[in-house]
Structure formats: C-alpha cells, structure tokens
Chains A and B, each alone.
Chain A
Amino acid sequence: MRPCFALIAVLAGCVLLAERALADDQIEFLSGARVQGKVTHIDRTQKIVTFDARIGGREIRREYPYNKIHAVTYNGQRYVLNKKESTPKPLPRSTDQSGPDATSPQPPRSVKALIEEAGKTPPDWYDDTPLEYPPTLDLSWPAKPQGAWNNQKNVGQYMWDIVNPNPDRWRRGVKLVHHLLAMHQNDAKKRQRAMQTLGGMYFNLFQDYARAAYWWQQAGVDANHNAGFALGECYWRLGDRQAAVAFLVDPDRPRPNNSLRVGMIKLWGDMGETDKAVKVAEWYVRVGGEPHMAFLFAGDALRLAGRYQESLNYYQKVINAPDGKNKKNSDREKSRARASLEAVRLFDLSDVSRVADGSYQAESIGYSGPVVVEVVVQSRQIKSVRVVRHVEKQFYAALTDVPDQIIAKQGVKGVDATSRATMTAEAILNATAKALAQGAN
C-alpha cells in the first residue's frame, strides 16, 4: 500500500511540475534577451503581445510588438515570429580613424556588397527612434517652398535650422527623411531628393559611409555631381581606393577626367597624397578658383603630413589673399588659417609622440587666478589631463570638456578653445601645452 502512495505522490509532483512548466511562457527578443512570464493577450491585427513579465517575483504587464520579438514559447509551444540573423549585421559605422590604410585593402567586390547590404537595412537605432516633427511641418515637401523662411513649416528649413545644429535630433531627422522617401516613393523627383538628402546626412552627420554611398548611388550621384567626390571619399573610407580615385581629379594624369572641386584637395590630403593635394590646389587657383579654401586645405594636408614649414606658407597665402566674392566666407577662412598658423607655431613642440613618459604640471592664468594642469603621458600617449588646482567659477564646460578634447585629440592641436569664449579653456590649453613642452625637451 505504502509504495502505491509514494507513486501517487511522485506522479502528482510530476503533474504539478509540468503544470508549472506550462504556466511559464517565455519571450525571446530580437535583442537577444529573454524573459519569462505569461502571455495574457495576443492582438493579431495590431501585432502586439501582452505579456506579464515575471521579474524577481514581481509581475509587470507590458505590450510588445511582434517586430521586437524573435520567438515566443506559449503554452509549451515555441513560435518563431521573426527570424534572427545568424551573424550580426556588418555595421560600418563611424570611423574616427583616418581611414583604412593601404596595408588592408578590401577587394572592391566586398565593398560593393557591403554598401548594398548596409543600405538595405536600417541602422540599428532606427526602430528605437521615434518619428517626431512639428505638427505644422508641410510633408508634401515642395521643391520651392512658398513664403518667407519658416523652419516650422518647410522641411528643408526645419532640417537646416533645427535638426542639423543638434546631434540629439540627427536620428529623428534621418527617420523623417526616410518617412518622406516612403511617402513620395512614386514621385521620381522627390524620391531622388530624399535619397540624396539621406546620403548627405549619413555622410555628414553619422560618418556612415556605406549607407551614404548606398543612398548617393541610388540617387544617381556620379563623378560630376556636387557630392561626387564625397561619394569617392565613402569608397576610400570603406577601403576601395581605386573607386575613390575615379571620382577625383588626378593632377599627374594628362587629362583631367572630372570637373574640379575644392573638396578634392582635402580628400587627396586625407588619403595621404599630399603632393597631389598641393598640386590640385595650385591648379584650382590657377584656373580661377578662389584661393582661400584651396590653400587652407593644402596647408591642412601638409600639416597632416608633418610638413609644418610648408603648411605655414600655405596658411600665409590664405591670409595674404585678397577678399573673395563672399567676404564673410573668405574672412572666415582667413581666421581659420590664422588659428592654424598660430597652432602650428605654438604647439608644434607639444606633439605628444615626442614627449617622454611621465607626469607634468604647468600653470597658466585663467579668469580669476592660476589654473594648474597635470598631464600624464604614458607609452607616448596622453593618458590624463587633470585640472588640479583652480579658483575659477564652475565652468564645467571648460574644466571637463577641454581635458577630454585634449585626450581625444592627443594634443592641444585642434582643440576648439575659441568658441568656448572663456579664458579658463584657453588657460587649460596653454597650461597643457606648457606641460607637454617640458617633457619634449
């Protein structure tokens, strides 16, 4: 009799366990996470699963759309709602490095494939980014908006005034353009405009060269287009140098194949072809182009290559050049040249690769007293920049941002102190330069 009871007890236990196993549903999300709980409702029209997630003994009722879910285990049965890619998406995202070097050339075929694949999938933040725009915005997106400038009504002006200045809005901006593209997919002109805008946004805002290239390709951008050399830059950044060169003017070839644009100088410089950059610049000016931007880029290219003396000459040429058609622009370029000239002269010494390892302190005068900065150089890299003593007002921006910038840029060159308009920032920069100069001697 007794074993019989035991058997019944065991069986009952099994049933209970099975019951329990049945009671626990599970959702596996596309993000890779899974959570247990109970599916309480399935809305097949809205494609929404209502789920009581069980977390640490609590139950939290949430609704999840199908498109977030990989699979659901429901009443013991597993349903796959969305297939998961077996390999993570190749996401050629922001590349702060100065581009791939010649040692790791990617075969052009794979670059093409990369562009194709990336362009056809949305960026990984796409789904989490809300579609948000002012209700007053005119989504019909006429080519020439009527009336006065109105950044709450006209899409282009909204992008220009509100989206572009704010990194926080860039993703929403891209989403809006994708939305416009889908809306106007049957209007060839607007479709082309949207795709070209997307190319520009992925290129300028996200440095997402694959998607930029894809959308520019789709928009039919070729070598003679305004954005042509930028598409070339995309190819170069992605590793296809040959394709990039096809979009440029090569000064060493007898016949220029493309129309000359000032941005090409910068690209040649960035690609390491300093001499070509300088030649193109000279050429550009010879055929009647404005010298300011051209020589500024030439100077930058030389500076990038470490040819400081020559770069000083070109910066000086920018400063000496007469004003251009647009005085405002040429003034701006002159002041940039002046700043670069100053930076090369002042901070050439503080090139971190010449600074011996160690910790250096130096001070400079800030707004209300001395600012002491401690710079730690380790294995030829600036490891930390710390304001160790100051009597400044709070100025968080300067006290944290400037050291961060110095570390990011590994030097005081190019750290934007003037726009901050505080003496504190300049004091930190100068003190850092002084400190580094100690180690360079």
Chain B
Amino acid sequence: MKHLLVGVVIVILGGAIAATSLVRKAAAHDPLQDVAMVGTALGATLVVYGGLVLLTALAGGGKSAALVRVDHFLPFLRKKKKQTVHRPSWFKRLVAKVLPASWLSDPMTGRAGRLRVFFKRLGPTMLSSPLRRVIQTICLLAFLWLFFYVCWPYTATPQPAGRVSTGWQLVEIDADTGFLRMVQTRADDWAQAPEEARFLVDPQALDAIQGEFGRFVVVQHVASDLTLRPSEPLTEHQLDQLLTTSGTWDLHERSPWPSHYADDLARKESLPADLFLVIDPLVSLSTAIAARSWVWSLTSAAVILIVCIVIPRGFCGYLCPLGTLIDLFDWAVSKRIRRFRVADDGWWVHLKYYVLLGTLVSAVCGVLVSGFVAAIPIITRGMLFLGEPVQSGLLRGWQQVPPPNAGQFVSILLFFVVLGLGLLRPRFWCKYVCPSGAVFSLGNVFRVSERKVESSCIHCNKCVEICPFDAIKADFTTRVTDCTLCQTCGGVCPTQAIKFVNRGNLVELKVENDPPTRETPIGRRGFVSLAAGTAAALVGGVGIASATKAFGARLGDPHTRPLVRPPGSVPEQEFLTMCIRCGECFKACPYNVLQPTGFEQGLEGLWTPKVVADHAGCASSCNACGQVCPTGAIRALPLAEKKAARMGLAIVNAETCLPMAAREPCRLCVDECIAAGYHAIEFKRMHTQTDEDGRPVEESGFLAPVVLADKCVGCGLCQMSCFNVNVHQKQLLPASAIVVEAGEGKEDRILHGSYRALRSAEASQRRARLRDQQTHDYFIPGSGSVDHAEAPSPFSADETAPPQTPAANDDPFGIGAP
C-alpha cells in the first residue's frame, strides 16, 4: 500500500516535470530549450520509474518487498515444489493467455516450452536474457539502417524546371508591411495561388540562376494585381535593384537552383541519423570542454545519463552498436581463438578511467582526441571506410569510389584493433578501455537500480562465468561500476538468488565477502596504482595535447598548404578544436568530395574532413555536411547561404592548362561552372594570331579559362571535369590543370554571420569603385552628346548659389517649378 502511494507520487511528480518542460519546449525561441529537453527526459524517466513501482506493488513485491523490480530475464527452469502455492505474476498470466500453451514451459513437469528451446538453441545469453539481445539487435540494425539509408541521396534527381510567369511589373513596396505589389498585363492564374512560394527572377540576367532575386510568398491577388511577402527582409542592394531596374520580372514556381540533395536530406530530417553519436556523452563533453562553449548535444548526453540512472550503464549493455558488434565478433571469432586470452585482472582493469581522464585533460588543453577513442566515432568510421565504399561500389559502380588515403587506413586499423581486443577477453574494449563506458561507470554513482544477490546463493559460480562485463566479484555480489544490468546472470542462477531491484532494498541479502574477494575499496596498492594511473593519464593527456600541437597543423607556417575545408567551416584553429572526427560529414557527402585528412597536418588534423575535388565537386544543391555536423565545426547553413560560402578558389595552372599552353581547345571547366549556375569562369582568348595588317585571324588562338574570384566558391566541379577527362580519360595531363586552393582571401572562414551578406558587401564595394568612372553619355550623331536619361530641364543646378534648406524652396530639386 505504501509502495503504491510512493509509485503514484513519483508518477505525478514526473508527469508534472515533463509537462512543464514540454510547455517550455513548445514555446519557440525559449532560451531554456535545452534545459526543457533535459527536464522532459527527467520527467519521463520518473513516470516510467513510478510506473515500475506501481507494477511491482500491484504484483506484490514478493518476499524481498522491493520497491521496484526491473527483472526481465528468463528465469532458470525448475520443477515447482509441490507444497508451494504459486501465484504467477500478472505478466506471466498475460503471456499465458496470449501465446499457445506449447510455446511455454510447463511448471509442473519442468518441461521446456518451444520458446525456451528456441532461445536455448541460440545460446545461453539469449536464453537467459532474450529482451536484452533483442534490444541490442534492434539498436545495431537501426544504427546500420540510419547509416546506410539516410546518407544515400542518389534516388533524388533534380526536379524539372517549374513554370515561369513573365512580364510582372513592380508597382509599390508597401511602407507598413514591406509587401511587394506587382501587376501583369495578362493573368497567369497559377502564379497567384495564395500562400505559395514564388521566386522572383530578373529575366535580363545571364540565366535564371544568376537572376534569382529572392523568395516571396503570395499574400493575396486581385485579378492580376499580386501582393508578395518577402521571405527575408530586403537588403539595401535588393531595394535598389527592385526600384531602379527597368523592365519586368519573372515569377518562377521553383527556385532555379537545383535543390534535390537538400530536399532529400530535409525529407529525412525527422530521422535521427546521428542519434547514436549524440548520445555518446564523451563526444559532447570533450567537445564542449575543448571548444569552451555550449554544445547542443550535451543535452542529449544529459538525457542518456538520466536514463542510465534507472538502467545503470544501460547504454553499454543495450544500446551501443559498437558493443553489439564486438559481441558478434567475440561470438564469431574470439570464441574460437583462445591463445591470446589474459587473466581477468591486471593493470588494465581500470584503464578506461585513465583514458577518460587523459581525453578530458587534453580537451582542456584544447586538443580533441575523443574521436580516436570514443565508441560511436570508432564504429562510424569503421562502417564509413569499410562499408560505405562497398555500398557505393556495388550500387553505383566502383569507379565512383575514390582511392583511400592514410587517414582511412589508420582508421580501419584502429577499428580492427578494437575488435581484436576481444581475443584477450570478451568485450575487452568495453570493459577496460572504452572511455565512453567510463563516463557511464562514473554515472553509476547515482544509480537507483542495482543487481542484488539473496542469501539463497549456492556459490555455483555460473553467474561469474557468464557475466560479459566481469561485473561479479568472487563473492557473487556486484561490481556496481561495471554492471550493465544485462540480467544474463539472473537467467542462469539455479536458485533465482539474483534480483534487480531498487538500490535501497536490503532484504535477505547474501553475506558479503564470502568467499573472500580479496578486494579492498582502496588499499595501499590500490592507492599507488590509482595515483600512478592518474598521473599517467594527466601526463598522457597533456603530452598528447602538446605533441599534437608540436607536430600539428602549423597554421601560421607559410610553407604549408592550407587544406580546403567543407563549405561553412569555422576558422581553421576553431575547426581543429571543434571537429571530433566523427565521420558524419563523410557519410553525408553524396559524391565523396569530403575525404579524411591523413597526416598532412600531423596528428592534429587526422580524420578531419577535407575537400578532394578530383573525383567529384561539391554539389550546389547539397548542404548535408553542415546539417549532420554534431559540433558546428561545419556550420549548418541553409542552402542559400551554402551557395555563397566560399570554401576555396579555383586556380588555373597556366603551364598545364591545355588552351593556355596552346595544346588543344578545351572548355570543360567553363561549361561545368556555367551549368552549375556559378558563372565564375570566363574565357580569354590567348595566342591570337594576326595577319599582315595586324588584324586578328578569325578563330585563331585558344579560349582559355579565367576564374572570377568574386564569383568562385571553390566547389571544385571544374577540377572534377578537368581531372576526369583530361587526366583520367584522355591522359593528357598528370594532374588537373585547375585546382581549388584554400588560404587567406580565398575562402570564408567565419564563426558567425551571413556569407550572403559578405558577398553583397563585396558587390557594393565593387559598385562603389566603378561609380567613379560612370558616365551616362549616349552619343547620337547629329545632335551632339546628350545625357539621355536627364530630363530636358531648362534649369540646371545652380552651383554658385548657397545651399538652401529644401523645405523653403519652391523648386527643391532644381528642375524648375513643378
């Protein structure tokens, strides 16, 4: 009764917290969004826990009078003693009703049912704790599905161009609303559908992409009088353009830019592609420390840590796809090779804490090594460099797979080392080394559930043998920092002495230290090893940090060639700090333009993404890398911003470029750039021949490419086409004659702010520079030079007159009385 009440109180409390948080979360632009998310998780966890308390109370706590039981293992099958009155739990009664009797074991005879026989065939851990294995399988499959499906955008193809309605004339920009009023002589009905997005395009531009002015939403229309709301506030330059452009505008149904990759990604946005990465707490924690800023994924880490208070280290036992993969490897390989086995204790048993400490220390020093050692990045990169090329090769053709480099090989090696540790002991990595696991072990201090052993224990040692995490001491009690509550031990215990209950439950517990464990909480030796380990971790952390810096990127060195980074990357120093080498961007990049860096920047740049444009260029319709970056090292840019973000500048090699070297005509890069919509490469004629009169010979010479620095964003499509045709196909050149380069003035690396604003500021400067040489002279023979656009005003400005206050003047504009 008391327990029931406690359960109700917990549920109400949890519900209240969750509801409050959800309300805050729903309120847009609430600065406490992150806190609200953690609050929701806390409330939800409380509700679930309260629910478990209620269920336990309703089922009758049994003799141990536990507040909560989280048992889900399949208990050892025993014939029931005749004299005991057996009242099966509500769950068993439910199962008995739903499933056919032949599937279930018979408690009277002790004969195993079909379900049990099936589980037994699968293996002892499956028999003991099937639920855990099912969850593990689901998580691994979910990880793989998210990995291989979400980042497979090739089913998306560019939409056919939408409809175009021409001949729109701007009438007015409304002072109060900022809406545009436009009219058209004929009425295109489709263009005026209310609340539809329309794209204003200047038909006089080179093409629709260059002429795209902006996105507008139809507010209302009367006949062919259309009111449009700008999607974004108009800039100064846009205003000038709208007001002073003579001629009409086109309304496009769709943006002339292709957007299929971004659309594909947006369609999949509801799928949490980086789910497993953001719940790896080490990743967010170390990033936040290294970058000294709030990282949004910290909230996800907080959520998983809250959940793991109920299921201590549940992440490792149930969710972690790397753990499951190691389980599979251990089952398939390590089980058969026993020659490398080591004892169950040694210097390595607490290694994970020191690895964690070292990681955090080096993060404090500003160097992120969590990507090398954290669980999810390791499996992500393993899949990425092993699985993804196979996926691409099989489904899209092997020529699409770029050749691997040192970065890939090192990563693959590390992946196999992690798996191979299983040869020493099953799940050696998870138990002793994994620093992400260490975070959860430390979180276990706050656990509310726990494995307990009752006095009916017969010291049979079966639980110790089967425990995958070495979490059972010699006296069969729990090593609480290691136990993942996988409940396999519960399933093998012949006396059902093992229970998973609330931490405070102390009923009928087994005597501790019997048989003696010879473990002391912290003895002299323990203290020495703790001190030594900590010192080693500190020294190691600082050492790694200083080593990476010493053999690092040497950013200031003028002799090093800066790497081309993905579009929207933050400044290089911050980039190296914030990038956790999780591999999400490689995975997301549709054409594998992003490749891992090897040792070009020493250790500091290892596995950071760089643009390799030989095999593919950055698609203008894709902004995937920024969208998936968990730390913001690549900014999550909207497509319009991404297209304005310069990642580099294409540089033509004057010695090798075929037309420049007068070898043969070639216009691959120009065509590619025009087709992509940038128009950033133009021609100049070179090697022009002249006749005797010094006049150029028609068609002589070569049209050579010239990159316009103010338009080039460094997408690398030009490099791709030159490499593929001139280098690969025709074998005319040893390397692409046009190459994207990064560096000062060639790329935009900003932490905040708009790239489009940068471009528009540059354009204003250019216009201001040109303004000095502007004239409007339009000479017409026989009339002398007239300033054509000038009104034929008899009054010119009186330059000698003192400046007058305009209001006091009848002729403020100096054009004669109106």
Which A residues lie at the B interface, using CB under 8 A?
24, 27, 29-37, 39, 41-42, 44-45, 47, 49, 53-58, 60, 62, 64, 66-68, 72, 74-75, 77-83, 119-122, 124-128, 130-132, 144-145, 149, 151, 157, 160-162, 164-169, 178-179, 181-182, 185, 191, 195, 218, 328-329, 332, 367-369, 384, 386-388, 391, 393-397, 400-401, 419-423
Contact = CB atoms under 8 A, between A and B. Distances in A.
Contacts of B674: 397, 401
Contacts of A120: 780
A313 to B, nearest CB: 26
Contact of B679 (A55, A78, A151, A168): A168
Interface in B304-355: none
A131 B674 CA distance: 24
Given A36-B175, A125-B246, A391-B400, 16 more contacts: A32-B171, A47-B790, A60-B234, A60-B236, A60-B239, A82-B790, A131-B775, A157-B688, A165-B682, A178-B779, A367-B724, A391-B396, A391-B397, A396-B717, A397-B672, A401-B674
B788 interface: yes
- 7 smallest CB-CB distances across A and B, nearest first, come from A56-B178, A165-B683, A67-B789, A44-B814, A182-B777, A397-B675, A161-B685
Contacts of A178: 777-779
B776 interface: yes
Contacts of B781: 185, 191, 195, 218
A328 B701 CA distance: 12
A397 B720 CA distance: 12
A334 B767 CA distance: 47
Contact of B694 (A24, A144, A391): A144
A79 B818 contact: yes
A131 B675 contact: no
Nearest to A169: B682
A32 to B, nearest CB: 5
B600 interface: no
Contacts, number: 244
B484 interface: no
A318 B400 CA distance: 44
A131 B172 CA distance: 29
Interface SS of B by simple majority: loop
Given A81-B813, A367-B729, A33 B685 contact: no
12 contacts: A31-B247, A56-B178, A64-B244, A66-B813, A81-B791, A82-B790, A126-B778, A149-B688, A160-B685, A182-B775, A397-B668, A420-B668
Interface in B741-800: 767, 770, 773-781, 784-785, 787-791, 797-799
Contacts of B807: 75
B385 interface: no
B173 interface: yes
A37 B178 CA distance: 12
B58 interface: no
B255 to A, nearest CB: 15
B513 interface: no
A369 B247 CA distance: 46
B397 A83 contact: no
B791 A56 contact: no
Interface stretch (B414-422, B493-501, B615-623): B615-623
B671 A160 contact: no
Contacts of A332: 699
Given A165-B684, A168-B682, A68 B243 contact: yes
A82 B813 CA distance: 11
Given A31-B243, A130-B767, A421-B666, A182 B791 contact: no
Contact of A161 (B242, B666, B686, B812): B686
Contact of A182 (B676, B720, B778): B778
Contact of B247 (A124, A195, A420): A124
Given A157-B688, A178-B778, A386 B617 contact: no
Nearest to B241: A128
B723 to A, nearest CB: 9
A397 B721 contact: yes
A161 B688 contact: yes
Interface in B219-264: 233-234, 236, 239-240, 242-247
B725 A422 contact: yes
A34 B246 contact: no
B17 interface: no
B178 A58 contact: yes
A420 B799 CA distance: 59
A400 B158 contact: yes
Nearest to B685: A161
A209 B701 CA distance: 29
Interface in B155-193: 157-158, 160, 169-179
Nearest to B816: A79
B688 A47 contact: no
Given A122-B788, A131-B775, A391-B400, A55 B178 contact: yes
Interface residues of B, number: 94
B591 interface: yes
Interface string B690-705: 1000101011110100
- The main secondary structure of chain A at its interface with chain B is mixed
B204 interface: yes
Nearest to B620: A396
Nearest to B617: A394
Given A68-B243, A160-B688, A42 B779 contact: no
A398 B698 CA distance: 28
B389 to A, nearest CB: 15
Nearest to B773: A131
B815 A157 contact: no
Given A31-B243, A35-B243, A125 B204 contact: yes
B801 to A, nearest CB: 9
A133 B382 CA distance: 55
A358 B544 CA distance: 67
A168 B683 CA distance: 10
A127 B717 contact: no
A53 B242 CA distance: 13
B176 A74 contact: no
A424 to B, nearest CB: 10
Contacts of A80: 818
Nearest to B160: A384
B554 interface: no
Contacts of B684: 151, 161-162, 165
Interface string B396-416: 110110000000000000000
Contacts of A181: 779
B777 to A, nearest CB: 4
A62 B615 CA distance: 46
B487 to A, nearest CB: 49
Given A29-B244, A131-B775, A161-B684, A393 B239 contact: no
A56 B777 contact: no
B206 interface: yes
A67 B806 CA distance: 19
A45 B682 contact: no
A71 to B, nearest CB: 9
A394 B591 contact: yes
Contact of B172 (A35, A167, A368, A386): A35
Contacts of A157: 688, 696
Contacts of A391: 396-397, 399-400
Contacts of B175: 24, 35-37, 54-56
B667 interface: yes
Contacts of B779: 178, 181-182, 185
Nearest to A29: B243
Interface centre among B169, B234, B818 (most CB of A within 10 A): B818
A397 B670 CA distance: 9
A42 B806 contact: yes
A197 to B, nearest CB: 13
A200 B787 CA distance: 24
B813 A72 contact: yes
A181 B778 CA distance: 8
Nearest to B247: A124
B592 to A, nearest CB: 11
